[in-house]
Amino acid sequence: MEFGVLGPVVAWKGETVDRAPVDLRGPRHRAVLARLIVARGRVVPAQVLVDDLWIDPPAGALSAVRTFVAALRRAIEPDRAPRAPAQLLVTSGPGYALKTTNIDAYHFERAVRTPGPPEGRLRDLLDGVGLWRGPAFAEFVDEPWALAERARLTELRLHAVEQIAETRLELGLAAEAVPDLDAHVTEHPWREDAWRLLALALYQSERQGDALAVLRRARETLAGHLGIDPGPALTHLETDILTQAPHLNPAESLVLGGGGVWAETAVAYDRAVGGTRARIESTVGLLRNLAVTGGGGLEAARRHRLAAIAAAEELGDHDLTARVIGAYDVPAIWTRSDDEAQAAAVVAAAERALPTQDHASIRARLLATIALESRGSRSPRAREAALEAEQLARGLDDPALLAFTLNAVFMQTCHRAGLAPERDKIGAELVTLSQRHNLFTYEVLGHLIRLQSACARADHTAADERAAAADALAARHELPLVAVFTRWYAALRDDTPESYRAAAALLDDAGMPGLSAGLLPLALAAHAVRHGDPIPAADYGPHAPWVHGSPDPPPGLLFEAHWALTAHSTQDPELLAKAQAALAPAAGEHAAGSGLLTLGPIANYL
pLDDT reading at 5 higher than 70: no
Give the dihedral sign, CA 7/13/19/22.
negative
The stretch 29-57 carries a mean pLDDT of 87
The stretch 359-386 carries a mean pLDDT of 95
CA–CA dist 211, 120 (Å, integer)? 28
Name the DSSP letter for residue 3: B
Residue 115 or 370, more confident: 370
- Identical fold between 2-123 and 172-247: no
* Count of beta carbons in the 10 Å neighbourhood of residue 74: 15
pLDDT reading at 199 higher than 50: yes
Sheet of 89-92, strand order: 44-45, 95-98, 89-92
CA–CA dist 462, 428 (Å, integer)? 12
pLDDT-based confidence at 298, cuts 50/70/90? confident
The stretch 509-514 carries a mean pLDDT of 82
Name the DSSP letter for residue 81: P
Q: Give me the chain's average pLDDT, please.
A: 85
Tens digit of each residue's pLDDT (9 = 90 or more) over 533-579: 999 999 999 999 999 888 899 999 999 999 999 999 999 999 999 99
Of 332, 594, 597, 293, the C-alpha closest to 444 is: 332
pLDDT reading at 252 higher than 70: no
Highest mean pLDDT among 55-59, 202-206, 478-482: 202-206
* Count of beta carbons in the 10 Å neighbourhood of residue 397: 8
Q: Which CATH number fits domain 2-123: 2.30.30.60, 1.10.10.10, 3.30.450.20, 3.40.50.2300?
A: 1.10.10.10
Beta strand ranges found along 79-214 (DSSP E)? 89-92, 95-98
Is residue 228 within 8 Å of 291, Cβ to Cβ?
A: no
Tens digit of each residue's pLDDT (9 = 90 or more) over 305-328: 888 888 888 888 888 899 989 988
The stretch 331-346 carries a mean pLDDT of 91
* Count of beta carbons in the 10 Å neighbourhood of residue 396: 13
DSSP for 200-268, written as a single string? HHHHHTT-HHHHHHHHHHHHHHIIIII-----HHHHHHHHHHHHT-GGGSHHHHTTSTTHHHHHHHHHH
Q: By percentage, how much of the chain surpasses pLDDT 90?
A: 45
Q: By percentage, how much of the chain surpasses pLDDT 70?
A: 90
pLDDT score, position 530: 94
Is residue 104 within 8 Å of 34, Cβ to Cβ?
A: no
Superfamily of domain 276-484: Tetratricopeptide repeat domain (1.25.40.10)
Is residue 98 within 8 Å of 88, Cβ to Cβ?
A: yes
Domain 172-247 has CATH 1.25.40.10: yes
The stretch 433-443 carries a mean pLDDT of 95
Domain layout of the chain by residue ranges: 2-123, 172-247, 276-484, 513-604
Tens digit of each residue's pLDDT (9 = 90 or more) over 210-249: 999 999 999 888 887 677 778 888 888 888 888 887 778 7
pLDDT score, position 550: 87
The stretch 333-345 carries a mean pLDDT of 91
The stretch 99-109 carries a mean pLDDT of 82
pLDDT reading at 261 higher than 50: no
Of 376, 383, 391, the C-alpha closest to 339 is: 376
pTM equals 0.59
CA–CA dist 106, 381 (Å, integer)? 32
Tens digit of each residue's pLDDT (9 = 90 or more) over 534-544: 999 999 999 99
Residue 419 or 481, more confident: 419
